[in-house]
Amino acid sequence: MKRLYFLLIIVLFYSCKESRIYEDFLIKSDGVSASDNKLEIDFDFYPTSTTHDIYNRDTYSFSYSEEHEQSEWVAYYLDSDDITAANFDRPFFEQDPLVKTESADWRNYKKSGYDKGHLCPAGDRKRTLEDFVETFFTSNISPQQHDFNSGIWNRLEEKVRYWAVKHDGLYVVTGGVLSDNLKTIGKERVSVPNYFYKVLLSKDWNKMIGFLVPHQDSNKPLYEFVVSVDEIEKLTGIDFYPNLPDKIETQLESKSDYKGWSF
């Protein structure tokens, strides 16, 4: 009888262990855990790529466009741990060794009249010095007018950090709208986008918001740049959260209001 009882305990132990291993597999392969139903920071939930050149860094991923010599999107998760009062020294921008075709040389920006505008802001990566430094690869920048970079775009970046704290974490996708016949700078002909965008998704999947901002400074309130994510997808050819459940994706991406977001 004791032996039978002992064997039963062993069977139950390995059954539970196998269940746990399977759940771990689901988290890694599908990006969704059955136990907490949260969006994982997983490649499967990043946007589609029109270039098929996706790279993963420690704290963000990006899809690089060799044609435009910049990323079409940078995607990352942002929460309060990333936003600290740390005052790190700014490093020099460097070409990204991950990019197989080589990312643009920073010298393309020299005397161009344009800033090296971060896509994932350095201010969103202050958890560690290593995280901060990682934002200074040229795969993470796009030419931006100075007044735009330090004006309306900076205001939007600050608001995103505010929301990341308020909503206990956000998923962020950002980039310039890369299209034909754009102005270029430098010997490598780095494209200058006419519009920049951000697409934000709350960690609980309840809220999504899109911003499409013309590449010029503006004193308008941020909510005037809110558009549906569907509109940004049509302009860019990118599907931002393709592995969200279809019903949730359709509902969130069609909205162009900002209900639930405090401005």
**Residues 32-73 pLDDT 10s:** 332 233 334 454 568 999 999 999 999 999 999 999 999 999
**Residues 107-155 pLDDT 10s:** 999 999 999 999 999 999 999 999 999 999 999 999 999 999 999 999 9
CA distances, 30 to each of 52, 61, 74 (Å): 20, 17, 21
Proportion of the chain above pLDDT 90, given as a percent:
79
Name residues whose C-beta falls within 8 Å of residue 124's C-beta, 6 or more positions apart in sequence.
76, 78, 82, 83, 135, 157, 160, 161, 172
Would you state the pLDDT for residue 243?
Answer: 87
**Residues 122-131 pLDDT 10s:** 999 999 999 9
Predicted TM-score (pTM) of this structure: 0.83
Active-site residue 215, yes or no?
A: no
Q: Which of 68, 118, 167, 215 is catalytic?
A: 118
